Structure 1
């Protein structure tokens, strides 16, 4: 799912209460104008991105679904970013506080990157991994962000589904245009998308994913009102969703698949090289080139292989590293479970094991609740493990989704590192603490830059020993394996999209250098094919945070406090890496 989270913020200016005879402090006129600009930007953003409002738990947007593929929408969105840029240019930096200057820099960067994105035509609005139809499936389950508590909630979803179906029809039109201009998905990806639509195009209405909320109506809703919900939901599924999904499945199978590309990379599409360069900047928030990233990846792969060799020797394995990968992949002792509940219980056990150690590294913990859940069946076959944020008010927990297509084949060797990354202290700490912040403006509470966000999560994997984990050499090898996975991404993502690598070439390189199963690696390579550049963000961000920690440790010596360093990194929310580096440099200088 190609998600670009576009949020804004409100900077609140408070008047200080004084004694009756004391004068009231004057508000800086520039700060007041800046706060108003940000407030307007934030309020208007939900008009364009109402799903963001739903995930934030905001009322009033749950029925909306604009057609983001229409020319009218894109014209309005461009004007929205452009007028914000123009207004920011009129704000005098000299009269802003340091926090306001950072907020201005972040917003300018965000407007620029999104204006650039709008210069590229979206001919592939649907793929197997990143697109809005998959998010709508999650919402339709009734267990995600879309609320189903009142009659109004149920009616809101019916209206939103109508808007979604307009988008779905536009997606087919865009893909038809893509066929004409030679900008289509690779065949291997199309083959993965077809079953996702076919699976929701047939069957009993009462068993359909989109009918699920009607089967779980709260007791507070009366019997009469229940019937007024059930009938429209039956009609929505049978008369709208199922026909629309069948129409899309038929188009994908009969028209789109025959036109699909045999090549794998985006460079093989019109304007593909320029688009990939844009993706690199979007996801790394740097000016690095594809060649620089490719070489960095090769270097990191070599370094991590050396560490893996040490683990191989520790466990007494006599073969070479590649055969050790096979040994780990197929080791039945690392596949101890019979059902998905046991896998979920293991993740919860990891959390319990490290709880006593968390206070040594973190003195601030989120209030937002947290859960581990199995990935929903309709998307499990193509999904990776992921974290979905809780709502800002804490009413909806943060959720770590783990795909478990076959529990008997589920290998646990990387579960400790996976939990650190996706859950605690990875994404759950990072996102929840940002949302709960009482000092950050609203915009920065919800902003997402993958280099920072995924970089932090990958950095936290290296904290396992400090948290009492990785006592089993296979779990430590799992951490190295996950780091290797991200280093391999630097090589294969740039290989696929800038060096002409095939899907098969990328799969082979991954199999040669990591212990994931071939099925898992194939899904990963196809993920990179669907959204070039995203996979680069993890390692680029991790290496920058590691670099900043090492710089602070060296500069501050005995004054270095790991808890305070983590506070400094986390308190900013997601920001481009250069802005994070500037902040840490300032902190180091102030504490020397």
Structure 2
């Protein structure tokens, strides 16, 4: 395995939390005896989960499952502060439970709960609700479902939520105005064209509104009187609540927010900005690293990856610079799909070739199957290249010239399998994860895994040409450069042009993607740091396990143990791999290795 940055290795050893996971403690956990501390913690996080789901508009059925109810949460400042106060109370109660008395499994649950509560309290400290969107994410794009519902009750709840959109948007607008007034806004330079995603929802013709598609997909088994009633109510809700609310929000963004958004781009220019950026770093990486430390780590990684890129360029007999080679790739028509279907076909074929290799790298193979879909047209122009989830893996087919095919294998591995879609299915089918953790996601762990799988694709033999291998390195460089760019923008005074040039010169990303990505880093401080730091953590831990276990190391068991953890802070993952090494590299119970 290639060596990683010495500066990161040192920093990670210093930041690892003391979560003991020894062989002795593991055997204790296997016993039937449950400690009082375990019971107290389980009661606490069960209460927290019920509270959280209720606060955000979910209802609990008789069988204990949660479904979307008929309300949208209030985001008024008083309500947000009340929730932060409740989180503070939960944290105080957590602190009263003796950590050393918990079983290893419950120590992990305690660490996750502590991290989630600390994040919520930190967000409230900086009134993050006053900037409720950025160039990548927002509060208005995901209120309508991609597919129809399966029961009349779900349609009734959907219509009730639609009727709440005017109130919900008014609260979000009020929060955004408060943010504008104190200089806590999305940077103006990142907002150009972002209003386009609202236009379809403001359509006066209900049949053209994205909210109507759920009614077009209504199951045939519904009674005709129900179908008629629901469609009439849905049409009225779109005409009376949805379209006017989106039109009003669109007007606010165009007339008030965009023109008055801040001209600066650094998070440290926010009110109390230096502390805010430090909090964002901790939130997204789950590591105690400073901006300066991360910047240095990024420079080391960029230099390492540049050397690997030059080796491929030499293989292809290209004598120019990395920047010149990247520009050649961007402008070569052989790498551009002619139709969206061609790009989707390349992605699908990569996914099936990965299927043929999964058994060599994982002992537990989830039964669930994902699909691959194009990013919806309404959000595609400013969406990332792809995104993976439990049900589907999204590929962006907008502006095909900006989606070169040599990048598609690495993208598919990261977003689909064995990346995020595979990861989500694996974790769901473990079945033992505490309920409160099933909707919690730590970017350092989750995105670190996604980037690690791109590296794993090399070992699987998925990259078949030097160009695809260069595309993989370009994607890794993209994440390494983020460490330099994010910290450069938010703590070292970099300009947007400087950031664009740095990323464009070192990756084969299209100019469109480069601009979209830089705007994302500007408007979402800290999030981009998670990917590379998480991947480096996983690769370092793998190297330690290989060295310690020797011939007893089984890559399938190592990967299974990581994914079975679910989403956890990186120090918790490090502790678990320490336990994996201590117990001789055991895999998951019940899995035939």
CA distances 1:516-546 after superposition (whole Å, capped 9, x unpaired): 1111100001111121100000000000111
2:406 is equivalent to residue 399 of structure 1: no
Cα separation, 2, equivalents of 1:492 and 1:95: 43
Conserved in 2, the CA contact under 8 Å of 1:285 and 1:451? yes
Please state if 1:452 is matched with 2:445.
yes
Equivalent residue, structure 1, for 2:486: 493
- Matched-pair contact (CA < 8 Å) for 1:548–1:584: yes
Question: Which residue number corresponds to residue 503 of structure 1?
Answer: 496
Distance 2:410 2:577 in 1: 26
**Residue range with higher mean Cα deviation, 281-290 or 214-223:** 214-223
**TM-score w.r.t. structure 1 length?**
0.89
Aligned to 2:284: 283
CA distance in 1, matches of 2:105, 2:389: 25
Deviations 1:341-396 (A, max 9, x none): 22222211112223222111111112222110000011000101344533xxxxxx
2:535 maps to 542
- Which residue of 417, 420, 430 maps to 2:413? 420
Q: Which residue of 2 is the match for residue 340 of structure 1? A: 340
Task: Report the secondary structure of 1:401's partner residue.
Answer: strand
In 2, Cα distance between the equivalents of 1:428 and 1:586?
A: 27
CA drift at 1:475? 0.7
Deviations 1:10-41 (A, max 9, x none): xxxxxxxxxxxxxxx77544433332222222
Matched with 1:16 is none
Residues 322 and 92 of structure 1, relative CA distance in 2, 3 Å threshold? closer
| 8 Å CA contact retained: 1:353, 1:468 | no
Stretches of structure 2 that go unaligned for 5 or more consecutive residues are 1-31, 586-593
The match for 1:34 is 41
Q: Quote the Cα distance in structure 1 between the aligned partners of 2:375 and 2:436.
A: 29
Report whether the alignment pairs 1:64 with 2:68: no
Q: 2:91 aligns with which of 81, 85, 88?
A: 85
Measure, in 1, the Cα distance between the counterparts of 2:292 and 2:34: 50
For residue 171 of structure 2, what is the aligned residue in structure 1? 170
* Equivalent residue number for residue 351 of structure 1: 351
The answer to whether residue 554 in structure 2 is matched with residue 553 in structure 1 is no
On the 8 A contact 2:58/2:66 being kept in 1, the answer is no
2:146 matched residue in structure 1: 142
Deviations 1:222-260 (A, max 9, x none): 222222122222222222222111211212222222212
Name the SS for the 1:75 alignment partner: helix
Deviations 1:270-304 (A, max 9, x none): 12221111000000101101111111111111111
Structure-2 residue corresponding to 1:480: 473
Indicate the residue corresponding to 2:15 in structure 1: none
Cα distance change on mapping 1:106 and 1:221 into 2, 3 Å: same
Instruction: Please give the alpha-carbon distance, in whole angstroms, between the structure 2 residues aligned to 1:127 and 1:235.
Output: 31
Question: How far off is 1:477 after superposition?
Answer: 0.6
Query: Which residue is 1:443 aligned to?
Result: 436
| Structure 1 residue corresponding to 2:110, chosen from 104, 108, 127 | 104
After superposition, where does 1:41-60 map in structure 2 within 5 Å? 41-50=48-57, 58-60=65-67
| Match 1:514 to one of 507, 516, 519 | 507
Q: Deviation digits for residues 397-427 of structure 1, max 9, x if unmatched?
A: x211111113465311111111111110111
> Is the Cα–Cα contact under 8 Å of residues 363 and 563 in structure 1 kept in the other structure?
yes
Aligned to 1:22: none
Q: Which residue of 2 aligns with 1:231?
A: 232
User: Relative to structure 1, is the Cα distance of residues 37 and 257 closer, same or farther in structure 2, using a 3 angstrom cutoff?
Assistant: closer
Distance in 2 separating the partners of 1:215 and 1:121:
40
> Does residue 315 in structure 1 map to residue 316 in structure 2?
yes
Distance in structure 1 (CA, Å) of the matches to 2:340 and 2:416: 18
The whole-number CA distance in structure 2 between the counterparts of 1:184 and 1:85 is 29
State how far apart, in whole Å, the 2-side matches of 1:460 and 1:165 are. 42
Secondary structure, aligned partner of 2:73: coil
Displacement of 1:316 in angstroms is 2.3
Residues 274 and 369 (structure 1), Cα distance of their counterparts in 2 relative to 1, 3 Å cut = same
Distance apart, 1:464 and its partner CA: 1.1
The residue aligned with 1:154 is: 155
CA shift for structure 1 position 485 = 0.3
What's 1:127 paired with?
134
What is the distance in 1 between the residues matched to 2:510 and 2:60? 38
Q: 1:258 to 1:29 in 2, by over 3 A?
A: closer
Per the TM alignment, residue 52 of structure 1 is displaced from its structure 2 partner at its CA by 11
User: 2:178 and 2:116 mapped to 1: Cα distance?
Assistant: 29
Contact 1:387–1:401 under 8 Å retained in 2? yes
SS class of match (2:202): coil
What is the SS of the residue equivalent to 1:384?
coil
Q: What SS does structure 2 have at the residue aligned with 1:372?
A: strand
- Give the Cα separation in 1 of the matches to 2:402 and 2:73: 42
**Whole-angstrom distance in 2 between the partners of 1:368 and 1:581:** 28
Given the superposition, is the C-alpha separation of residues 403 and 366 from structure 1 closer, same or farther in structure 2, using an over 3 Å criterion?
same
Residue ranges of structure 1 left out of the alignment (5+ in a row): 1-24, 391-397
For residue 118 of structure 1, report the CA deviation from its aligned partner.
Answer: 1.3
User: 1:324: how far off?
Assistant: 0.6
3-state SS, counterpart of residue 308 of structure 2? helix
Task: State how far apart, in whole Å, the 2-side matches of 1:424 and 1:60 are.
Answer: 28
* Partner Cα distance (1:426, 1:298) in 2: 26
